[in-house]
Each structure stands twice: as C-alpha cells, then as structure tokens.
A and B are shown apart, each in its own frame.
Chain A
Amino acid sequence: MDKLAKQIDQLAVTWSEWTIRYRWLTIIISLLIVGFIASHMRFLDFATNYRVFFSGDNPDLVAFEDFQKTYTKNDNFLFVIQAKDESAFDGELSEIAERITEEAWQIPYAIRVDSIPNFQYTWADGDDLTVEDLIKNGNQLPPEILQNKVDIALAEPLLKNFLISRDSSTTAINVVLQYPEKEIDEVPIAVKHARSIAAGIEQDYPDISLALTGLSMMNNSFAESGLKDMATLTPLMYLVLIIVTFLSLRSISATLATLVVIILSTLVAIGAGGIMKILLTPVSLTASTIVLTLAIADSIHILITMRDLMRSGTEKNKALVESIRINFLAITITSITTIVGFLALNFSDSPPFNHLGNMTAAGIAAAWALSLFLLPAIISLLPLRIKPSPTKTKKSLFLKLSDFVIKQPVKVLVVTGSFSLILSALAFTNTLNDVWTKYFDKSIQFRVDTDFALERIGAFYPIEFSINASEPGGISHPEYLNKLDEFAQWMRTQPNVEHVFSLTDIMKRLNKNMHGDDESYYRLPEDTELSAQYLLLYELSLPYGLDLNDRINIDKSATRITATMGDITTVETREFISNSSQWLEQNAPEYMWTSGTGATQMFSYIAKRNIESMLKGNVIAVSLIALILILTLRSFSLGILSIIPNAIPILVTFGIWALTVGMIGIAAATVTATSLGIVVDDTVHLLTKFLRGRREKGYSTADSIRYSLNTVGKAVTINTFILAVGFSILTMSSFKMNQELGALTAIAIVAALILDFLLLPALLLVLDKKSSKKNSTQGNIYVPSA
C-alpha cells in the first residue's frame, strides 16, 4: 500500500475513534446541523404552474410568453357536463350550463367565460343587427326553439367539438384566468372556488356527469400528486428498507441506527431544497425516496463488515473502527460518483430535474457524513451482540459464477457483448412522448376528468399560432383573410384536429349578417375597408369579457388561430406543428410564416430539449466518473475500461424499454447521468478487490476475478437488490416522469450487475490473454498511473 492510502486509513481510524469516544457530542452536533438544514423546509412550496418544467431560456417558453403578452394568458378551467343517459342537449343541460357560466365569473382571476348559452349569436333582420346570448333561460324555452338553438351551435365552427359535442349530449364551459402571479396560492384559491361550483352542480343535479379540467387543474395537481406520493410511496419505502436492513443485519439495534441515518439524510435533502428556495414538484420530491435508497447502502456496508469482524471474535467498538477503516475509501468514492451523476442534472433544461439533482446530491453527502460520523456513535451506544462463529467455507455461488466465466471467457464475451450491442442499437428506436395530461395516472382526479373531456367533447390540446399580417390593420386585407381561411381549412383536414378557431369564421358570419342573413354571403368580404368596418361593428356590440382582444393584437397586425387536438401522441403533435409551418412556408407570403406555440407544443419538445441540454452534462459526468475511477484504481486503462460495463447497461436499458414500452418521456434525458453515478459503484467494489488480488496478493487474472467476486459479490448483489427495489417503488408514483425515472434506473441497475458479473470478468480475461501473447514475459496489461 502506498502512503496516501495509509494516510487515508489513519484518518478514518482517528475519526471513528473520536466519534466513539465523544459519542454524545457527536450525536448532538449531528442533530444540530441536520436540524438547522432541515428547518429550511419551511421555505418550500409546491409549484402551481406547469411552466416550472421549463427554464427561463427555453425557446419554446420564451415564444409562448411573448404570445401571451400579445394576446392574453391561456390558463383555464374547463367544466364538462353530460346530460343523463347521454341524451341530447335539453332544458336541464342548458340550465346547468347557464348556471355554471354565471357562477364561473365569480372564480378569482377569471377574465373570460365562454359557453354555449353566452355565445354571442349575431343575426340580421333587414338592416337591424342583433347581438345576443345564444340561449337565455333555456329550460323555459319550447323544445323546438331550444333545438333550433342547439342546431345553430352545432353548425357554428367556433363551438362544435369545443364547447358542444357532435351528439350535443355534452357541453363545456371554458373559463380563462389571468393570474397576477404574485402569490403562490393563487391557483389553489381559484381551484377551490371552481370545485365548489362543481360540487354545487353535482349536488343539485345528481344524474348528470361533470368533469373539471383545464390547465389550472393540472397546475393544482402537481401538489396533489406529490402529496399522494409522499403518503403512499414513502411509508412503503420505509417498510421495505426496514425489512431489507433487518434481514441483512439481523439486528434491531443496527436497523434502528441505519433508520436514523437515512431519515436524517432525507431531511437534509429536503432542507437543501428549502435553502435553494425551490418550488416543489412531484419530480423534486422523489429526491427523498431516492436518498432513502442510496443512503442505506453506506450504513449496510459498514455494519455488514462490522458483523463479520465480530463473528470472527473482534470486540464491538474495535470492529466498528476497523470496519470504517476498510470501507472509508469505497464509501467515499461511490458517494462522490453518485453525487457527480446527480449534479449533472443541473444541465437539464427542466428546473425540477435540477432540483432533484441538487437535493439528492445533498442527501447523499449527508448520508456519507452521517454513516461515518453519527452511525458509529449510535452503534457504540446501542446493545449489539454477535456471537463469534466460524465463517462458512462452502463453495459460494459467486465462485461458481467466476469459474463459469473463466472457463469460457470468449464465449461469454461474445454472447453478452452481442446481446448488449443488439439492445443498445434498439435504444435509439424509442419515440419521445410527453402528453402533459398523461403525466398523472388515473389515481389523480385531473387525469380522470381530462380523459372524460377528451372522450366526450373531442378537442382538448390547443396549439396556438399568431399569424402576422403585412402591416398595422393588415388583418383586414382580403389576401390575408383568404390565406388565413385556407390555412384554417387545411388544418381542419389534418388528423386529430378537432377544432379550429379562426377569425375568418366570424368575418364570414358578419358578412352574411350584413347582407340580411343571405347564406350566399357566408364568405369573406372582398375589400379591406369592409372587413375593418365589420370588425369595428362587431367589437362595438360584444359584452364585457367576450371581446376579441384575446384574438387580435392591438394594432390589428396579427391574429391568433388555434387548432385544438383530440387524444394525440407527442409524435403526432410534432408532426402537425411541423406540417403547419411547412404549409405556411409553401402557401403563404413570408410575413405569415410562424410556428405553433402553447403548453402542448412546449411539452412536445421538452424531452428533445432536455436530451440536448443534458448531452453536455452526460459527457462531463462520464469524464469525471472515469477520472475518479482512474485515480481510485490507479490504472488508466482499467479506469477507461470500466466505463464499458457502466455505459452499456444504460444503452441496454433503453433497448429493453424500446422493446417493451417504446414511448419515453423527459426522464429519458436525465436517467443516463444519474444511473451511471449509481451503477458505477458495483464496478468500483469489484475492480478494487480485483486489483488487490493482483497487486497485493500476486494472484493471476483468473484468481483475482475469483477473489473479487467471492469477497464482494454478495455485498454488491444485496446492494443492487436494495437499489432495484427502491427505484421500482418509484414506478408506483402517480406522476409519470417518476415512474419512468424509477423503472429505467431499476433496469439499468440490474443490467449493470449482470454485466459486471459476466462481461467485465470476460473482458479482463480476454484482454489479458491478448496482451500475454504480445508480451510473454509479464501478464500485466495495466499501466500503473502512479
């Protein structure tokens, strides 16, 4: 052993002896520091805006913010009501729709309410133009008159499939809100009011079906989803960890001590979030679950070694000190690699993943410090008795495994290698899919209500386009309006487009009204002045809250056209958006060229943007981890070589995902760095022991492999099991990003273990043989770095 290693060992011994001697002081200091950090939790609040998933410089967000400043904000509630027995729109449904329309004006921050009853219907009688609510007191109208009005709604392109279903059994009320965005509880306050309206309706009309959705409901669901996860996943996680810890340590005291360490580490992780004043999301909240899983490994390593030492007769405190000496370096290195992996999440374009990375990193650092500092102090206080017993000499499973590889390294290498290559090749066939309503699973009411709206009404996901005209006032030019109408018509022919809102439909209707409701005038006006004057007339007669200011910009040089999509995948959304831009470029004058925007557009590109932004983070993480391995193993070639069994499992994971699921969301971007940081731990343990065999004990490559697998195989397997279980629990989250993050990491961890046991030794053996042939004198292929 060299000097540095000796110094580190000495430090560990001094350290642990000190903490055992001053154990009460140690415990008090630990609790004070943890308490101080954890107290910052009070600064934590749940995010109430989906925009938290986009960084300030995300170009899609910037474009949408611009759009919203020109028109109005897009946050909304959508009440969807369906007549009993799915019968057609009747007096009762009208009564309910009118009541919700009326009451929705009272929702805090509501600036606009659109419904079938308050649709501003225009009709002409000679030179008299009437502008009025389509339906007033619908329950008192004779059925044929009401039916007449329903037919008008169904014939109106602005309403059909948006506020009324094809079969008229379902109608929607859309409430647009303008949040001041000054207080964090604006959304919950508005949601509370909207829910009380819905509850009132459900109470008075028990036979109808009602759903409440919209962006504001989604914004409110982050907290609901996060809290639900906290309530279900965290206890489950604790239960699993307590069982696993107890089974591996067989001691209540040791389990208790481990529990204290992981709880405190979690508190530090969350407190660190408070120090950074982040807005919680279901994603950042998983930091607590992840820290639980990762923190436990440190304690278990120390306690297992200590138990083994005590079995061979060492006294408790001595065994404790010796265990810390043995594990100090490995625990430190594995903690650092994991921290590097999670810190790399800071490159993500999505702030919740930055938060997750930083909180987890803080939690892991705390787990490291606490298992080396607090754990010995607690253990020395608690009763812990282990009878000395001779270690079993039965040929272990891991010896059999190493013999299997040593017998046929080339075969193992070829088989595992080609399997890995095939799966890795498939990795890139996953399609990126982020449908924002489907981030929530069906245990969250928002998802259930949204599915209902999608199924019953049709249109749900808006894609916005702001189409410029050539000059101020230019939206009245016939060539502009004609092209806009062509665009709207083209959009209506596209798959999944359920509804298109275009100014041209209003202009056509007005032209008809201005010619005594002559149907043959249901077309666009032919000169600029006429269109401009129609608009003026229309604007003069619209009521408060139903104006065109959200559709036309201030100097009338641009209008907004909205295509609302039905149940659609992100791939289809991206296709529609790019086809739309392409259509404009091919058919419209250059000033009209634009690209789609809005929440649906933003989420459609979130995975891609994050993969791009994480690319740099992944490169840095891989390089740093390789560097750490080179320094730890004191071997350049082995350090580089070790990247193979760590990078391949991640590619294999994506390959398995492609075969089984095929669709992948934003988690795809972030899982590479984090799982690399985690899975590299096994390699560190295995290679350290392998090198000890070669360097200290002078074993051959084959014997070093046997030695390595036999000594740490079991610990590595237990560790992998804990991690895999921990991340599998995340798949039970109500939030899809977490499910995918959990599933992908769990697969990667298991794949890494398999490759560490098969591919890594095979690789070592094959490379060793090759170099032996070239270099017959010495079997050592490694270039010592120091």
Chain B
Amino acid sequence: MSHLLKSILMYSISLLLFSNAIAEELEAKGYEIAKRSDHSDRGFSDSVVKLNMVLRNATGKESSRTLEIQTLEAPNDDVGDKSLVIFDSPRDINGTALLSYAKIIDPDDQWLYLPALKRVKRISSTNKSGPFVGSEFAFEDFTSTELNKYSYKWLREETCEEFTCDVVERYPLYENSGYTRQIAWIDQSVYQTRRLDFYDRKDSLLKTLDFKDYREYDDGIWRSHKLSMRNHQTEKSTDLIYSDYEFKTGLNDNDFNKGVLKRAR
C-alpha cells in the first residue's frame, strides 16, 4: 500500500471516529437534558387532577369531555407511572374508568371498567399511538413521559417565547409507535417542555403540542394547565385544560389495582 493511500485511509478512519464521537456527545447531551427535565418533578409522589378536553374539528365545531386523572409516581426510571382515568362526562360514559400501568418498552397494561356492563375488561393491545377518545392526543402523549421510552439527540439551543430552550430530538424505542421522532423544546430555567412536534411514520410533521400556563407547586413541581394539540394534516385540534391539581394526597399501590375500578366513581 502506498503511503498516500495509507494516510488517506488513516485520515478517513479518524474522521469517522471523530464524527462518531460528536454524535455520541450530542446523544449524551440530549439524554442529560431530558433526564434533568424528567427528574425535575421527582418526588411529586402522587397527583389528582381534573381535566376538560375540548375537541375541535376542521369546521371549528367543538365537543368536550371531562375526566379525572389520578397518578402514582414510579419509584425509578425503569418502570412507568400508574394512572387511573375516571370519565365524568359525557353522561353516557360517566363512571367508566381506565387503569393503566405504563411500561417502558412493552405495551401498557390496561383495564377498563364499563359501568353499563358492570364488568372490568382487560385490554390487550399493542397500540399506543391511537387517538384518545376521539381527540388529537394519544394516551401516551399526555400521560406518562417516561425517560427511557426514547433515545435522544440534542439539536440546538434557541429562544422559545420568554425562555432559552434546548431543542432535543427523541426517537421512540417502542416498535409499534405511530411516530418516527419527536422534537421537544425544553426551557433552561425550570426544565419544562414548552413545545413538542410529532413526526408521523413517513417523517412528516403531524402534530404540534404547546404547553401553556405552567404553575409551580411545592418543591419545584411544575405543571402545565393548558395543553394545545394541533394536527397539521387534518386541521383538527384538542385542548386539555387542567384544574384543581392536588399532590401527595396519600394514594398508594392499593388505589391502583383493578379492584378499585368499580368504585372509582
């Protein structure tokens, strides 16, 4: 092998290693930022909140649903939160309750109580990204955002409204996800997600979620009280309006098993 060829080869290899190193660095930075954001609400232990969902179609016609969500914080990053969703209105689904154990990589465990049938049904489905009660939100979009559901890459830093944000791209590790990637804008002051872009399977922009009206509860627990999702492809949108947040209400594992579903109302 000639010297020239050798040096070219060496150069290429080092360049490859170097660019690899850069990529790894960006991934690590992305992960750190996501982790800092995820951990910022560590220790909320449990929460109860009322939720009003306002659905809007392309003609501007509206419809709303109200529900209550109880959440139990997961002890660590390897398991997901447990949640109980109790529907209040429309009247015909009043008392219907959904118990969900979020998993990191596997399909969530879900049980639904149907008061009209007076039975609890376990739902076995690999589908996580379908619309939740006809809204533009998938269940996973507004419930648990578990850190290890994604791999990350830091993209850039830019201003987002009054903040300076880190822009982090994340890739779902769940194989049946409806998204190829998401881009999150996370502020550098209190580490909350301000905006989230969802890209569909063909990698075109599907939805944008804006997090508005953040309020701080004790110990630096921040919660957005208005989540607005816009579907760019169908021009439909959904607002989630949260109220009456309560934390550390003393809920425990016993309040999140399928036995409680029937008396959730």
Q: Does A151 contact B (CB under 8 A)?
A: no
Q: Does B43 contact A (CB under 8 A)?
A: no
Report the minimum CB–CB distance from B91 to chain A (whole Å).
7
Query: Are A107 and B92 in contact (CB-based, < 8 A)?
Result: no
Q: Which of A240-248, A302-310, A538-546, A637-645 contacts B (4 or more CB under 8 A)?
A: A538-546
Q: Is the interface of B mostly helix, strand, loop or mixed?
A: loop
* A72 CB contacts on chain B under 8 angstroms: 234
Report the minimum CB–CB distance from B190 to chain A (whole Å).
31
Residue in B58, B93, B200, B233 whose CB lies within 8 Å of A69:
B58
Query: Are B204 and A108 in contact (CB-based, < 8 A)?
Result: yes
- Shortest Cβ distance from B122 into A: residue: A128
Number of A-B contacts (CB under 8 A): 151
Report the minimum CB–CB distance from A529 to chain B (whole Å).
4
Residue in A108, A131, A178, A532 whose CB lies within 8 Å of B90:
A532
Residue in B63, B116, B119, B139 whose CB lies within 8 Å of A554:
B63
* A58 CB contacts on chain B under 8 angstroms: none
Query: Are A69 and B57 in contact (CB-based, < 8 A)?
Result: yes
User: With A530-B117, A544-B178, A547-B131 known to touch, is A537 a contact of B233 (CB < 8 Å)?
Assistant: no
User: With A127-B121, A129-B122, A533-B115 known to touch, is A542 a contact of B130 (CB < 8 Å)?
Assistant: yes
Query: Are A129 and B98 in contact (CB-based, < 8 A)?
Result: no
Q: In whole angstroms, what is the CA distance A544 to B126 when docked?
A: 11
Query: Are B121 and A537 in contact (CB-based, < 8 A)?
Result: yes
Report the minimum CB–CB distance from B252 to chain A (whole Å).
25
Query: Are B114 and A537 in contact (CB-based, < 8 A)?
Result: yes
Q: Does A106 contact B (CB under 8 A)?
A: yes
Query: Are B92 and A473 in contact (CB-based, < 8 A)?
Result: yes
Query: Are B201 and A549 in contact (CB-based, < 8 A)?
Result: no
Query: Are B201 and A106 in contact (CB-based, < 8 A)?
Result: yes
* A530 CB contacts on chain B under 8 angstroms: 114, 116-117
Q: Does B164 contact A (CB under 8 A)?
A: no
Q: Does B191 contact A (CB under 8 A)?
A: no
* B62 CB contacts on chain A under 8 angstroms: 554-555
Q: In whole angstroms, what is the CA distance A684 to B123 when docked?
A: 82
Instruction: Indicate the size class of the contact surface on chain B.
Output: 35 or more
Report the minimum CB–CB distance from B195 to chain A (whole Å).
21
* A555 CB contacts on chain B under 8 angstroms: 55, 61-63
Report the minimum CB–CB distance from B202 to chain A (whole Å).
5
Report the minimum CB–CB distance from B158 to chain A (whole Å).
26
Q: Does B250 contact A (CB under 8 A)?
A: no
Query: Are A533 and B90 in contact (CB-based, < 8 A)?
Result: no
Q: Does A472 contact B (CB under 8 A)?
A: yes
* B201 CB contacts on chain A under 8 angstroms: 105-106, 544-545
Q: In whole angstroms, what is the CA distance A757 to B17 when docked?
A: 92
Q: Does A688 contact B (CB under 8 A)?
A: no
Q: Does B155 contact A (CB under 8 A)?
A: no
Residue in B90, B98, B121, B176 whose CB lies within 8 Å of A514:
B121
- Most chain A Cβ neighbours within 10 Å, of B87, B128, B134: B134
Query: Are A105 and B202 in contact (CB-based, < 8 A)?
Result: yes
Report the minimum CB–CB distance from A191 to chain B (whole Å).
15
- Shortest Cβ distance from A73 into B: residue: B234
Query: Are A128 and B121 in contact (CB-based, < 8 A)?
Result: yes
Report the minimum CB–CB distance from B154 to chain A (whole Å).
27
Tell me which residues from 511 to 559 in chain A have a Cβ below 8 Å from any Cβ of chain B. Answer: 514, 527-534, 536-537, 539-549, 552-556
Query: Are A544 and B138 in contact (CB-based, < 8 A)?
Result: yes
Q: Does B129 contact A (CB under 8 A)?
A: yes
- Shortest Cβ distance from A476 into B: residue: B92
Q: In whole angstroms, what is the CA distance A547 to B58 when docked?
A: 17
Query: Are B91 and A473 in contact (CB-based, < 8 A)?
Result: yes
User: With A111-B234, A533-B117, A552-B134 known to touch, is A70 a contact of B57 (CB < 8 Å)?
Assistant: yes
* B200 CB contacts on chain A under 8 angstroms: 105, 544
Tell me which residues from 113 to 156 in chain B have a Cβ below 8 Å from any Cβ of chain A. Answer: 114-117, 119-134, 138-139
User: With A70-B57, A556-B63 known to touch, is A111 a contact of B131 (CB < 8 Å)?
Assistant: no
Q: In whole angstroms, what is the CA distance A537 to B200 when docked?
A: 24
* B139 CB contacts on chain A under 8 angstroms: 540
Residue in B58, B114, B202, B236 whose CB lies within 8 Å of A110:
B202
Query: Are B120 and A539 in contact (CB-based, < 8 A)?
Result: no
* B196 CB contacts on chain A under 8 angstroms: none
Query: Are A549 and B131 in contact (CB-based, < 8 A)?
Result: yes
Report the minimum CB–CB distance from A711 to chain B (whole Å).
67
- Most chain B Cβ neighbours within 10 Å, of A66, A131, A476: A131
User: Can you list, as one digit per residue, whether each of B216-238 has a CB less than 8 Å from chain A (1) or not (0)?
Assistant: 00000000000000000110100
Query: Are A111 and B112 in contact (CB-based, < 8 A)?
Result: no
Q: Does A196 contact B (CB under 8 A)?
A: no
Report the minimum CB–CB distance from B178 to chain A (whole Å).
3
* B71 CB contacts on chain A under 8 angstroms: none
Query: Are A131 and B114 in contact (CB-based, < 8 A)?
Result: no
* B138 CB contacts on chain A under 8 angstroms: 544
Q: In whole angstroms, what is the CA distance A527 to B115 when docked?
A: 12
Query: Are A533 and B93 in contact (CB-based, < 8 A)?
Result: yes
Q: Does B182 contact A (CB under 8 A)?
A: no
Q: Does B56 contact A (CB under 8 A)?
A: yes
Query: Are A539 and B134 in contact (CB-based, < 8 A)?
Result: yes
* B91 CB contacts on chain A under 8 angstroms: 473
Query: Are A541 and B63 in contact (CB-based, < 8 A)?
Result: no
Query: Are A529 and B115 in contact (CB-based, < 8 A)?
Result: yes
User: Can you list, as one digit per residue, whether each of B94-118 has a CB less than 8 Å from chain A (1) or not (0)?
Assistant: 0010100000000000101011110
Report the minimum CB–CB distance from B233 to chain A (whole Å).
5
Tell me which residues from 70 to 93 in chain A have a Cβ below 8 Å from any Cβ of chain B. Answer: 70, 72
User: Can you list, as one digit per residue, whether each of B156-200 has a CB less than 8 Å from chain A (1) or not (0)?
Assistant: 000000000000000000001011000000000000000000001
Q: Does A130 contact B (CB under 8 A)?
A: yes
Q: Does A505 contact B (CB under 8 A)?
A: no
Report the minimum CB–CB distance from B133 to chain A (whole Å).
6
Query: Are A129 and B114 in contact (CB-based, < 8 A)?
Result: no
* B115 CB contacts on chain A under 8 angstroms: 529, 533
Q: Does B59 contact A (CB under 8 A)?
A: yes
- Shortest Cβ distance from B63 into A: residue: A555
Query: Are A529 and B116 in contact (CB-based, < 8 A)?
Result: yes
Report the minimum CB–CB distance from B180 to chain A (whole Å).
10
Residue in A106, A536, A543, A548 whose CB lies within 8 Å of B129:
A543
Report the minimum CB–CB distance from B18 to chain A (whole Å).
33
* B126 CB contacts on chain A under 8 angstroms: 132, 543
Query: Are B122 and A540 in contact (CB-based, < 8 A)?
Result: no
Query: Are B124 and A131 in contact (CB-based, < 8 A)?
Result: yes
* B129 CB contacts on chain A under 8 angstroms: 543-544
Query: Are A554 and B56 in contact (CB-based, < 8 A)?
Result: yes
Give 5 closest A-B pairs by Cβ, nearest first.
A544-B178, A555-B63, A532-B92, A543-B127, A544-B129
A-B contact pairs, 21 of them (CB 8 A): A66-B59, A105-B202, A178-B234, A472-B63, A473-B92, A530-B117, A532-B92, A536-B93, A537-B121, A540-B130, A543-B128, A544-B129, A544-B131, A544-B138, A544-B179, A546-B130, A547-B134, A548-B134, A554-B55, A554-B57, A554-B236
Apart from A533-B114, A544-B130, what are 19 other A-B pairs with CB-CB below 8 Å? Answer: A70-B61, A111-B233, A111-B234, A127-B119, A128-B124, A129-B124, A132-B124, A476-B92, A514-B121, A533-B116, A534-B114, A536-B112, A539-B132, A540-B112, A541-B123, A545-B178, A547-B131, A554-B134, A555-B63
